[in-house]
Every structure is written in C-alpha cells, then in structure tokens.
Structure 1
Amino acid sequence: MKPNMNGFKARAAAPGTKKSVAFGLLAIALVSCSQNDLYDGSGSESSGNKFGASVFGSPVGDVVGKVTVGYQGWFAAAGDGSPYNSWQHQNLEMWPDCSEYTSTYAGSPFTQAGVTQPGYFGNLGNGQPAKMFSSYDQQVSNVHALWMQQNGIDCIALQRFGSAIVAGSVKKAQFDGIATRMKNAAQTYGRKFYIMYDCSATDPIDADWTSTITGTLNLVASPNYAKQNGKPVVCFWGVGKSGRGTTADWLTKINWFKAQGCYVIGAPLANFATDTPNQPAYNACDMIMPWHVGKQGGFQATYTSDLAYCNANGLDYQAMSYPGTAFYNTNGASSPQNQIKRMYGNFMWSQFAGMRNAGVQSVYVAMFDEAQEATSIFKCAEDASQIPAGKYFLTLDADGVACSKDFYLRLVNNGGKMVKGIIPYQATHTTPYTNYLDVCDASTGWISANTLSVNTTDKKEGTASLQSVGSGTDEFKKVFTPFNSGASVATGKIQFWYYVSDITRFSASNQIEVGSGGAADVNEYNWNIGPLVNGWNLVTKTFATASTTGGTPNLNAINWIRIYHSKTASITTKVDAIQVFP
C-alpha cells in the first residue's frame, strides 16, 4: 500500500476491520531497462556494459513506449461466489458506475466520513437501486479490458500483495481467481498484462512466482503476458521504502528474478534519485517508475530530472500520472473532501504535457479502479443523481464542470497519444467533457413514426432508454444543438445500444444517419445498420466507412441523427447511450 507525497495516508478496508493503517494505492509503471545481466549495485554490470547505445532506453515493447494502468481488482461482494463471498474494499471515495455490469449486488457497507455504514439497500439519487460490482465476475474483467481497448490503454499492471500469497489462504484463492480472470480478459481484448507485487523484499514472492505465477496459474505462458526485450515483466512496488527490507534484501530479490529471465520494474518513492543508500537496488532494476501520487505541481521538472537519472544509469523510465485524489470517506475529517482536485482533467493533463516536454516515452496511470482514494479513471458517478441518495461521494462534476463517466478514460487516451507523438503537443486538453450525443434518458426533442416512450425498466445505461412501438419506418430522429464531438473521420466512430424485439419483421431498407445539416440528406454520414439479433445489440460504426449524402458533415457540429428500418408488422425497438468517440 502506498503513501502519497504529502504524508497523508489513505486507508483501504481490510477483511474483518473497519480500516487498515496502510495506504491502498498500487502503482505500476511502464518503464523498461537495458540491463540483461545480474547487477551487484556497484555501478558496473557483472558482464557487459549498461552504459552503451542503450543508455537512452530499450526499444518499444510491451511496456516501453506504451500506456499502462495499475489495476487492483480487489472488490468483492456478499453473494458473488468468490472465495471471499463477502464485502471487501468498500471504503469508497467515488461511486463506480455499474450500468454495464450484468451482475451487481445490493448491501454495500460503504464508509462515510471515516465510519463504516450498515449495508445499504436504498436507491441512487435518480431512484435506481444502488448496487456495487464484484471484481471476481469474469464479465466485469471483460468490460474493464474492453474500456482499455477502446481508450488506448496498452497494458495492465495487475496488483498482487505480499500478504496474498499464503498457500491455502482465502486471500490467495481470491487473487489467484482475479489473475485468471484478467488474463482471460486481456486475451479477449488484446491487452498485455503483468504482475506487480506490492511487497517487502523479504516476502516470499520468489516462491509465489515459481509455484503459482509460472506454476499452477502459468500466467507467463499467456501470449498476452507482457514481455520487454523478450523477457517476462514483473514489478515491485516499495523498493527502498522504509520498513520494506534493506538494500541488500532488495538486491537479492531483484537479482533472483533477473536470474529467472525476468525484466524487473522497480517502483520506488518519488525521491529515489537522491536516495543514495538505496540506489544500488534501484540501479539493479531494468526500469524505474517513481510514485508521485500527492504531488501537485512541478511535474515537468521532476520528469526531466528523473529521466536524466535513468539515462545516466542505463535504466528505462516510465513517468506516473494520476487524476487527483482524496480520502475523506476513509479517514474522515483528517482528510478534506476533494483534497487534490481533478479540475475536469486539467490537473492530469498538466502531467501528460510535462511528460511530452520532458521527452518521456512511457506512461503509467495510477489507477484504473482505485475508487477508495479517488485516483480511479474507470467509469464513476457523474453527479449526485448517480450516487446513493443523501450520501457523500466525490463526483465528476465536483469542480464545477459536468464530465461524462468515461471522460477520464478518453482523457488518458488523448494524453497517451500525445506522449507517443501520435497527436501534437497541447498545453491544455481539448477532450470533450462528454461524448454522449444523447443519453436517451428523456424523449425531449425526439420524433418517431411510432409510439415513442421512455422505458425506465429495460435500459443499458443511465436511468432509461427510448422505446419505439409500431410498424412505421422512422423509429428515432432528432435535431440537436450542434455538438462538438472532437472526432476525426480517420479514427472516429458512433456507438449506441439498439434493441429489437423480432428481427423477422424487418424489411431490407434501413439506415443510421448522422449529420451537421439539421435534416435528412444534408451534410450527412450514413450506414446500413447491419446484422442484428433479437434483444440488445451494441452498434458501432466508423466514420471512415460511412457513405456521405448532401455534402461533407462537420463532426464538430453534429446536429442530426435518424435511425430507420422498414417493417412488415409492428415491432418494438429501443435505443440507448448514443456516443461519438474520437
């Protein structure tokens, strides 16, 4: 568990306790190093020379030149069928959006102002039941990996704790199950992953690596297990941290893993470059990712000096970024609400901009799912309507600008592209605060040739879907206030959920239309809807594959959409969550 830069601590809920005394962030970084041989800490390799052509870093691989996120995977719920089968890690600072999970659970004993509450069976502010997810559900892992795929996140640093490797323990069984599920998800959605140990130098992680990671789970055999310079990647959070082992202990552990052919990432605290006593351990690693949660400014200067140290010592470097942080619900009054403000992406973007200017190649994002300390970038509640009614959780509109639940995923996507040089440098971000053309929670402005209604029972996201019942061709159409999607023709796409009650009643004529002319056939992109099944379909169409009618549409001023389908008889269709991705 990880301290922040300013000395305050967040406390993650531990099994059977109200609070733990340790800080619950796990970090991982993507940095790779040029060392191939065992290192004795003296400034020279046991064979070869670590200061050669490789001084400026290893070639792009599974971690070097890529975007990695730290992934906890530690949420569990009563009734989820996991080894815990009980509520775990419910000291939530942010309330996760659970609308895309097929299994959710009522009764979370979340904390408020440092006090654990009775299991909550009430509603969200919008009247929907308040439910939580479990990381043990394979579908949850799949959804998370899909979000990563959609938003340019290349690699998953899967947290594994020194306290979670005791053979025969429930905790080990839980985290072994999570590791298997994330491996499956990574393989399904084309992401890389590696094990990141949050441990001390004397924890038996070498035995765990042999018996479980390369043994019973055989994770390293997965084609999606991250490799850098041809070697399986492993990371240690806490190298050099007080109370986590001596420098000699760390050298022994690091060199053991290198002798197994591993590429070793060390994740020390932020002062590693001036921590002379522990530098032999840092320099023995193949990559360094310093922990910066709690730092509030001066990022470019820090990245520049850290990178200079790594270059001078033949190490690859990955810079860490985070969106903001707070621990009020865990610590109570000793930690203020919204402590390090996100400022609708400005704070995190300042870090990406600093990386680009410093010449950083690799990014580590802390964290994907760390809702306890408000460093999470996955989908969370946008406003008070999406959190348990009458309770406090940090929402995405806390700093005065409404942001969609996927805003930080999209921000990371753009930040990663800038660091990689795919898009030009920008001192300030231009990521749209929302990418929803329409959330479909209300029928305002919508027109249909059929009976149009709002369905609050059968929906995919938010509080409702739009429903059309009848045999008319035009199902859903709307003229919008011009919407700046930020999308490009080359990479942009439109995506929405579309429900069909009986596909056999469709005739051939159908189309999706999106345009900037405010009417059909004027500056319009269009597509055939494509193959459908009865029930909900996730429809995704790229602008690069669209036909155009009536001129060139302006993706920065979308103001028209229509979905139509000819029919042989009455049918029910529904639409939900219409989004445009850049």
Structure 2
Amino acid sequence: MSYEGRVMAGYQGWFRTPDDGSGNRWVHWGKRGRFDSEHVSIDLWPDVSDYPKTYETPFTLGNGESARVFSSWDAGTVDTHFRWMKEHGIDGAFMQRFFRVTTTEERRREGRVILGHALTAAERHQRAVAVMYDLSGIAPNGQDCASVIQDWKEIVDELKATSRSREQSYLYHRGKPLVAIWGLGFTGRDYDIRDIGVDKLIDFLRDDPEYGGCSILLGVPTHFRTLRADTRADPYLHELMEKADVVLPWMVGRFRTLEGREREKFRSQVRDDLAWCRTRGLDYAPCVYPGFSWHNLKGEESALDHISRQGGRFFWEMIHGSVESGAEMLYVAMFDEVDEGTAIFKLSHDAPTGNPPARFVDIGDVPSDHYLWLAGQGGRLLRGEIPADPELYRRTDPKTRDREDVPEGNE
C-alpha cells in the first residue's frame, strides 16, 4: 500500500450542532455558537439528502421548509462521506487534528470520536485514512509538540489505528504508516519551528520502538524551495524536510484563474517542485482545490466566490496540470470545508435564505456530486486509466458515476 497513484482529501470533521449529543453549540456553521444570517460562517450549503440524520436550522428553503445540516459527531455522517468516496473513486482522507485538540485529555478524547468514526467507515468502504497534525495555534512561548506525541500514543493505544485487523484502513507509504505534520515554515505564524520541538516529534514518529516506524509527510508553504514569499527565510525548514518522506505544499489561494500565464506558472511550479524533491529522495503531493470563498467567515472585505469554480474547470485544470507535470499523488483541499468554500462533497443548488438574507456561493449548473466525481477522475488519470482530456470537467453525462471502474480496496 502506498500514496502513489492515489487521491486523498483533507477532512476537517469539525461540524457540530446543539442537538447532536456532543455538548456543543453551533460549531463551524456559525460564529460564537450561533447560526443565523448575522453569524453564519459558511459560504457553501451542503446537499443533505443522503444523510441518515440532519438538524433543523434557523434558515428557510425556497419552498418554506426549514433548511437542515449534518453533524460530524454522528457516525452516520462520516460513513456517508466515506461511502461517497468509494462511489466516486476517491482513495481516502487525511483526518485533520489541530494542535488545540491535543492539548487536553478531554479534547483528545473528543477528537478520537471523529477519528474512530472515520476508521470504521474506511474499513467498511475500503478507503484509506491517515492522521494530519495541523500545528496552527501553537503559542510561541510555553507550548511545543509534546502534546502531539501524547495524542499519537493514545490514537495507537485506544483506536489501534495502525493495527486494527485484516481490513486495515490506515494509509501506509514506503511500507510504513503515514503521519502528516502541517504548518512548517509559513510566514505570519507566531511560532518558530526551531522552538516548538518539531524535530523531536519527527524523530519520535520515525524511531520510537513502540509508537514509531512511521513515514512522515510535511505540509509546507508554496515557496518552500526558495524560502521566499509565503515561506520564512530560514534554511532550518530544509533540514527538517531531510527527515521526511513526502512534501505537501499548501497552494490554496495562490492561483485564481489558471488561465493564460497563470496556467503555465502553476505547471512550472509543480515541475520544479518535483525535480527539487526527487533529487533529495522526497515524494511530492501537489495540493489541488476546487475554488475558494470565505465571505461569511471574514466579512465584506472578502468577496463571495473569491476564486470561482468555473463549473469545475479550475479544479480539473489543477488536477490535469499536476498529472501532466509529473505528479504521482494528489492532495485535495478539502473534502468538507464549507467555511472556506473548498468543499468537494455534495453541495446544494437550493441554498436557503434568512432574515436578513444570507449569501451563499451558487455552484451553477453542475450535479451536486460534480467535485467528488472530478476528484475520482483525477485518481483514474494518475493511474493511466483515462486519457488526459482538459475538457473532461464538462462531464457530458452528469449521471455517470463510473462505479464499475472504482477500485474495491486500498491495497
């Protein structure tokens, strides 16, 4: 089992509702625990027709009915998502674990509920799962990666994440469980990667006799090679990368149209990154995304539909361009992030209204599962199962799911 030839999506799993049993209020649907037109923090509305359980919201659909949403706390929600992955040929998910989740026993335990749902669903639907630690939020003074080490120990001990059964769903790479550490080398972060024990975390995951033996993926800025622009001018990042196996550069927001010169700039970026990584024995996973919008999260200073999806052309150009430039694996940002308008899961054409009215991105005249389908086609393109067609995003038969071509397992 390996990351090569696979499309993996980032998975937040952070949505909660007041009635889901988690003890939370509205989490990630709205701000400050509220979910109405004045507090809404999502730019895309999910299509909830497939979910076994949904929750009423203060919003109203065009037909007068109450608009409903899901909760990530429910096992049925996560199972539905992994079923969609199987139906559309997406290989699995990197389960996001933010640093804050690791800092207390209660938060770690709550985070394991979602991860446990994912491991079970991945086994049922023959998909892959890997843990991705996001270091965002580490305080520059007094906090370090020690709590991440503790969290990984508990995941191994409590969930048996890497040793569950013959139906093992954890993603291995180069013959070892793959663990991702995201957030190294970025400008605009309060923490310095020299001071938070990242080197000790990497060494632990690689070498610990009981909990180690892992492959390492590092999430780094777009300009990691040159240490400029979004990357701190500190060569220590390259020293840490020498200990890794896979490099994932964060590109969300860096490209806006992928037309003309920008199209070639993206492809050149991928080609040059690949060449740099290969000379250092590193694998490389380009980050592809369908669009971007965080108007409701950030307010009027950020335009709605900031990076247009263009009916899928933007997303497919990222996928197609990455593979044409030599990529052998892909990371999709993100499976479920409606907060920043990058979600690829099923989206609604019937976004609700409010009082006063809220604004949501119109996904246009494409099927609700269009971006799931395109991500799955990206996997087929990686494996050479379909020709490199730049117009494939037009999806001449919207009802096609290509289920007969979906692999039955992640071996």
Q: TM-score range by the shorter chain?
A: 0.7 to 0.9
Equivalent runs, 1:114-263 vs 2, <5 Å: 120=58, 122-169=59-106, 171-199=107-135, 202-203=144-145, 204-210=147-153, 212-222=154-164, 223-241=168-186, 242-247=189-194, 249-259=197-207, 260-263=212-215
In the alignment, does 2:215 pair up with 1:273? no
Give the one of 414, 418, 429 matched to 2:392.
429
Letter of the 2:192 counterpart:
G
**1:193 counterpart SS class:** strand
Q: Does 2:336 correspond to 1:379?
A: no
- Tell me, in whole angstroms, the C-alpha distance in 2 between the residues paired with 1:220 and 1:388: 44
Q: Shift in Å at residue 432 of structure 1?
A: 1.9
Selected match of 1:86 from 25, 30, 44: 25
* Aligned position for 2:38: none
Separation in 2, partners of 1:433, 1:265: 37
Is contact 1:239–1:281 with CA below 8 Å preserved after alignment? no
Aligned residues of 2:9 and 2:93 also touching (Cα < 8 A): yes
Secondary structure at the aligned position of 1:378 is classed as: coil
Give 1:205 deviation, angstroms: 0.7
Q: What residue is the counterpart of 2:242 in the other structure?
A: 283
Match of 2:327 among 360, 381, 396: 360
Cα displacement string for residues 67-122 of structure 1 (whole angstroms, at most 9, x for unaligned residues): 1000000001111012x332100121111111111211123xxxxxxxxxxxx1x4
Return the alpha-carbon distance in structure 1 between the equivalents of residues 55 and 396 of structure 2: 29
Q: Tell me: CA distance 1:246–1:85, structure 2 relative to 1, closer, same or farther (3 Å).
A: closer
Q: Determine helix, strand or coil for the equivalent of 1:348.
A: helix
Aligned-residue offset at 1:430 = 4.4
Would the alpha carbon gap of residues 102 and 335 (structure 1) be closer, same or farther in structure 2, given more than 3 Å must change? Answer: same
Amino acid at match of 1:339: H
1:341 aligns with 2:293: no
Structure 2 residue identity aligned to 1:129:
S
**Quick one: structure 1 residues 394 and 230, their matched pair in 2 at CA, closer, same or farther if it must change by over 3 Å?**
same
Greater fraction helix: 2
Q: Deviations over 1:409-449 (max 9, x none)?
A: 1111112211221111112324427724xxxxxxxxxxxxx
CA distance in 1, matches of 2:161, 2:405: 33
Deviation of 1:174 after TM superposition, in Å, equals: 2.3
Matched, 1:97 2:34: no
Q: How far apart, CA to CA, are the structure 2 residues paired with 1:124 and 1:269?
A: 40
- Structure possessing the higher radius of gyration over alpha carbons: 1
Look up the equivalent residue of 1:155 and give its one-letter code: G
Q: Tell me, what secondary structure is at the counterpart of 2:221?
A: coil
Q: Cα 1:152–1:487, aligned 2, differ >3 Å: closer, same or farther? A: closer
Q: How does 1:444-455 map to 2 (within 5 A)?
A: none
Q: 1:395 to 1:433 in 2, by over 3 A?
A: farther
With the length of structure 2 as denominator, give the TM-score of the two structures.
0.83
User: When you count strand as a share of all residues, which structure comes out higher?
Assistant: 1
Could you tell me which runs of 5 or more consecutive residues in structure 1 were left unpaired when the two chains were aligned. 1-60, 108-119, 437-484, 493-582
The residue matched to 2:100 in structure 1 has which SS? Answer: helix
> Which residue identity is paired with 1:306?
D
Cα separation, 2, equivalents of 1:230 and 1:309: 23
- From the superposition, tell whether residues 433 and 180 of structure 1 become closer, same or farther in structure 2 (CA, over 3 Å): farther
In structure 1, how many angstroms separate the alpha carbons of the residues matched to 2:401 and 2:336?
Answer: 26
3-state DSSP of counterpart to 2:250 = coil
Is 1:293 matched with 2:252?
A: yes
What residue in structure 1 maps to residue 32 of structure 2?
none
Q: Deviations over 1:2-36 (max 9, x none)?
A: xxxxxxxxxxxxxxxxxxxxxxxxxxxxxxxxxxx
Q: Which amino acid aligns with 1:363?
A: L
Counterpart check, 1:67 vs 2:7: yes
The separation in 2 between residues aligned to 1:125 and 1:217, in whole angstroms, is: 43
Which residue among 403, 407, 416 is the counterpart of 2:366?
A: 403
Deviation per residue, 1:533-569 (Å, 9 max, x gap): xxxxxxxxxxxxxxxxxxxxxxxxxxxxxxxxxxxxx
Partner secondary structure for residue 56 of structure 2: coil
CA distance in 2, matches of 1:173, 1:395: 37
Shift of residue 220, structure 1, vs aligned partner: 1.8
Q: 1:106-155: per-residue Cα shift (whole Å, max 9, x none)? A: 23xxxxxxxxxxxx1x4212333211110011111111000000111112
Fraction of identical pairs, as percent: 31
Shift of 1:193: 0.3
2:258 corresponds to: none
SS of structure 2 residue aligned to 1:75: coil
Contact 1:247 / 1:280 at 8 angstroms: preserved in 2?
no
After the TM superposition, which residues 464-479 of structure 1 pair with which residues of structure 2 at under 5 Å, given as runs? none
* Corresponding residue number in structure 2 for 1:412: 375
**Cα distance between partner residues in 1 of 2:287 and 2:351:** 30
Aligned residues: 361
Partner of 1:539: none
Which one is further off, 284-293 or 125-134? Answer: 125-134
1:229-248 CA deviation, whole Å, 9 max, x = no partner?
22111001102234343347
Inter-CA distance 89–430: structure 2 relative to 1 (3 Å threshold): closer
C-alpha spacing 1:85/1:411, structure 2 compared with 1 (3 Å): same
Q: Which residue does 1:331 correspond to in 2? A: 298
TM-score, scaled to structure 1: 0.59
Query: Would you say the 8 A contact 2:6–2:382 is kept in 1?
Result: no
Q: 1:224 to 1:253 in 2, by over 3 A?
A: same
1:339-367 C-alpha deviation (Å, 9 max, x unpaired): 01110011111111211221110011000
Partners of 2:100 and 2:252 lie apart in 1 by 23
What secondary structure is seen at the aligned counterpart in 2 of 1:64?
A: coil
> Where has structure 1 moved over 6 Å in runs of 4 or more?
none
Q: Which amino acid aligns with 1:153?
A: I
Distance verdict in 2 for CA 1:328–1:386, change over 3 Å: closer
Distance 1:269 1:95, change over 3 A: same
